[in-house]
Amino acid sequence: MIDSNGYLHWPAMPELKAQFRRTGLKNLLLVMLAGWVFYFLAVHLFILKLNKITVPIIGLPLGVYMAVQGSIVLFVIFLFWFARNERMANRKKRMANGE
């Protein structure tokens, strides 16, 4: 379909800029998910060895502590990383639009 400006638009496909924007967001989310899954698997693969070590202050095995607290800390780190990358993408988008 050709619009009044002479550009070709397909009704089933969104605009190209929006598609690239969503693709960047999707890739960032997939990287974060892969990092979280990797951490989860790494801790649980070595949990028996980690449980032999006890955290001195609270008296919990290290494997249990890292499984619970580590995933929360990693989630918060990923949230800040995600927000930073989104902020940078928004700045680039504003600069490209001339704002």
The pLDDT tens digits for 6-52 are 665 565 555 655 655 656 777 888 888 898 889 888 888 988 898 99
d(CA 41, CA 84): 26
d(CA 18, CA 22): 6
Residue 52: the pLDDT is: 92
Pairwise pLDDT comparison (1 vs 46), residue with the higher score: 46
Q: Rounded mean pLDDT of the chain?
A: 79
Residue 80: the pLDDT is: 92
First to last CA, the chain: 30
Pairwise pLDDT comparison (10 vs 55), residue with the higher score: 55
The Cβ of residue 46 has, within 10 Å, a number of other Cβ atoms equal to 13
Spell out the domain ranges in the chain: 16-97
pLDDT band at residue 5 under the 50/70/90 scheme: low
pLDDT at position 65 over 60? yes
Residue with the two structure tokens 């649980």: 44
Q: How far apart, in Å, are the Cα atoms of 73 and each of 12, 27, 48, 70, 85?
A: 41, 22, 21, 5, 18
